[in-house]
A = this chain, B = another copy of it.
Amino acid sequence: MLTARKAISIGEAIEKIMGDVCTGVAERVPLMEASGRYLAQDIRANQDVPAFDRSLYDGFAIRAKDTINANQMKLVLIEIVGHIGAGAVFQGEVSDNQAVRIMTGAEMPKCCDAVIMLEHVKELMVDGKSYISIDKQIAENEKVFKKGAEITEGSQLVKKGERISPGIIGLLATFGYSEVLVGAKPKVGVLATGSELLDVEEPLAPGKIRNSNSYMLMAQIEQLGATPVFLGKLEDDLEQSFNAVEQALEKVDVLITTGGVSVGDFDYLPEIYELLGAQVLFNKLAMRPGSVTTVAKVKNQFLFGLSGNPSASFIGFELFVRPVLRTLLGNKQPYLNTHKAILTENFLVPNNFTQLIRAKVKVEGTDIFAFSNGLNMSNSITSLVGADSLVLLPPSKCGYEKGSLVDILLLSEEGQSECFFLT
C-alpha cells in the first residue's frame, strides 16, 4: 500500500530535528585522553602566564639604568655576580653595576629589569673578577617576558563546547589540568535491515550483497567523536525486527537503521515506528539521494531511518545525524562547513528536489572548483571514495551550467555553528 508522504526541505528537516536537542552528560578524563574531545567546562586562567618575570633569551640580567651612558665610544663594565639556569631562583642581591648570567626562561633576579643577549656583550676578567662590557643603552624590560604578559589570572581562555586541539592540550597542561571535563560519547547503534545482506566475512551468494553501510556509518560515528555500536542486521520479518529495534533502544543513546524506510513490501520501519508509539518527525525529503530518509523520536531518543543505499545513507548521516551527535557531545559547531565553489560540468536536468553531488574540490589561487566524483546515484559506493565535499544543487527548472557558482558542504571534521540550510 502506498501512503502519501509530504516531502519537506532539508532546512525544515534540520529544524524539526534540532528543535529540542540538548547537550548530553559530561565525564572527567585524564589529560592524555582529552585530545579531540569537547570541553564540558570553561577554561579560565588559574595563574598569570608567565607566572613570574622571565628572561626571553640566554644572556645577562642587568639593571637598565646602569647602561644609560653606554655607547660604542664609552663601554660600561658590569660585574657578573651569579649564574642562573631555568628553573632555579637567584637568591643573592644584585647591586649597581652588577649582572647575573641568565638562561632563557629563568626567573629574573630581584632588582634586575632587563636582559642583554650573550651575543651582544663581551666577557672579560679584571683583577680576578668577571665582567661584561656593554656598548649600548638597554631599555627597561628589554628581553623580559613580564609576569602576566600573555595571560592574566582569571581571564577566560577557552569556552565550553570547543574541540580540544593540541594547542588547547598545551594550555590545559600549562594550568595544571591533569583531568578535564568533556562531553561523554553518546552510544550510537547501527542496525542494518534487509534479507539481502551478508556479513563482511561471508562469501557472496546469488541475490545477496554485503552489509557495507553499517561499517561505513560506524566509521562516520567514530570520526565524529561518538561511540559506534554494531547491532548486526535484520531479516525482512516484522515481529523480529520490532523486537530487535525495541531492544536496541535500551542499549544505545541514538539508533540508526539503514533500509526499510521506503514503500516496498518489506519496508517495515514505518510500522515499527507506529508500534513503538514513536513520533515521526518526517518521512520524505525534497532531496536526492535520500528522499525516503525518516527521523522519529521515542521520548527523547532519536531513531534515524536512513536509506539502504550507500550514498543516500552517508549523506543522511552527515546532514541529520551529525548535528545531533555533535550537540549531544556539547559541541556548539555541529554543522558541516560550507564554501562557494565553481561547478566544472553541466547538470542541466530539471529537478524538483535539491541534489547533493559527491564531489572533490580543487583549489587554484583563490578559486575553488568542484568536480563531481564518480557515479551520481544513490546506491553508488565509489562516489564516496575520495569525495571531500557535497555540491548542493537546489530545485531548478533548467538545471545548472558548468561555471556556475554553487554552494558546497565540506566533508571535513570540523564544523560550523550556523546551519547552511537554516540561513
Mark A residues whose CB is within 8 Å of B: 2, 31-32, 35-36, 47, 49-52, 56, 58, 83, 85-89, 101, 103-107, 118-119, 145, 150-151, 157-158, 162, 164-178, 194-197, 200-204, 206-220, 222-223, 230, 236, 262-267, 308, 310, 314, 339-340, 363, 365-368, 375, 377, 379-382, 384-388, 405, 412-414
Known: A150-B381, A170-B216, A264-B58. A308 touches B35 (CB 8 A): no
Q: Are B104 and A264 in contact (CB under 8 A)?
A: yes
Cα A367 to Cα B173 in complex, Å, equals: 36
Q: Are A88 and B171 in contact (CB under 8 A)?
A: no
Task: A105-B209, A366-B367 are known; give 8 further A-B pairs, CB within 8 A.
Answer: A32-B218, A87-B197, A104-B308, A162-B386, A166-B219, A167-B314, A170-B219, A174-B210
Q: Are B195 and A87 in contact (CB under 8 A)?
A: yes
Interchain CB contact (< 8 A) of A87 among B157, B169, B196? B196
Nearest neighbor of A89 in chain B, beta-carbon distance: B207
Interchain CB contact (< 8 A) of A171 among B58, B212, B339? B212
Known: A151-B382, A200-B173, A209-B51. A32 touches B87 (CB 8 A): no
Q: Are A375 and B150 in contact (CB under 8 A)?
A: yes
Stoichiometry, as copies per complex, reads: 2
Known: A207-B87, A212-B171. A150 touches B382 (CB 8 A): yes
Known: A88-B195, A201-B178, A340-B365. A215 touches B105 (CB 8 A): no
> What are 7 A-B contacts defined by CB distance under 8 Å?
A32-B230, A58-B264, A89-B206, A165-B219, A165-B386, A167-B387, A168-B385
Q: Are A169 and B83 in contact (CB under 8 A)?
A: no
Cα A342 to Cα B89 in complex, Å, equals: 45
Interchain CB contact (< 8 A) of A176 among B52, B58, B203? B203
Query: Which of A86, A196, A213, A267 has the largest count of B CB atoms less than 10 A from its CB?
Result: A86
Known: A86-B266, A217-B166, A308-B105. A209 touches B174 (CB 8 A): yes
Query: Which of A194, A202, A314 has the largest count of B CB atoms less than 10 A from its CB?
Result: A194
Known: A2-B119, A363-B339. A85 touches B236 (CB 8 A): yes
Query: Which of A88, A216, A365 has the largest count of B CB atoms less than 10 A from its CB?
Result: A216
Q: Are A223 and B166 in contact (CB under 8 A)?
A: yes
In the complex, what residues of B have CB within 8 A of residue A387's CB?
167
Q: Are A216 and B173 in contact (CB under 8 A)?
A: yes
Q: Are B2 and A118 in contact (CB under 8 A)?
A: yes
Cα A268 to Cα B265 in complex, Å, equals: 75
Q: Are B166 and A206 in contact (CB under 8 A)?
A: no
In the complex, what residues of B have CB within 8 A of residue A166's CB?
216-217, 219-220, 223, 314, 384
A31 to chain B, nearest CB (A): 6
Cα A162 to Cα B387 in complex, Å, equals: 13
Q: Are B265 and A174 in contact (CB under 8 A)?
A: no
Q: Are A200 and B168 in contact (CB under 8 A)?
A: no
Nearest neighbor of A58 in chain B, beta-carbon distance: B264
In the complex, what residues of B have CB within 8 A of residue A366's CB?
340, 366-368, 405
Nearest neighbor of A84 in chain B, beta-carbon distance: B207
Query: Which of A35, A177, A194, A264 has the largest count of B CB atoms less than 10 A from its CB?
Result: A264
Nearest neighbor of A224 in chain B, beta-carbon distance: B166
Cα A176 to Cα B107 in complex, Å, equals: 62
Known: A169-B219, A216-B173, A265-B103. A194 touches B86 (CB 8 A): yes
Q: Are A216 and B167 in contact (CB under 8 A)?
A: yes
Interchain CB contact (< 8 A) of A106 among B87, B196, B200? B196
In the complex, what residues of B have CB within 8 A of residue A266's CB?
85-86, 103
Cα A342 to Cα B384 in complex, Å, equals: 32
In the complex, what residues of B have CB within 8 A of residue A164's CB?
219
In the complex, what residues of B have CB within 8 A of residue A340's CB?
365-366
Q: Are B197 and A58 in contact (CB under 8 A)?
A: no
Cα A244 to Cα B167 in complex, Å, equals: 27
In the complex, what residues of B have CB within 8 A of residue A105's CB?
194, 196, 209, 308, 379
Q: Are B263 and A118 in contact (CB under 8 A)?
A: yes
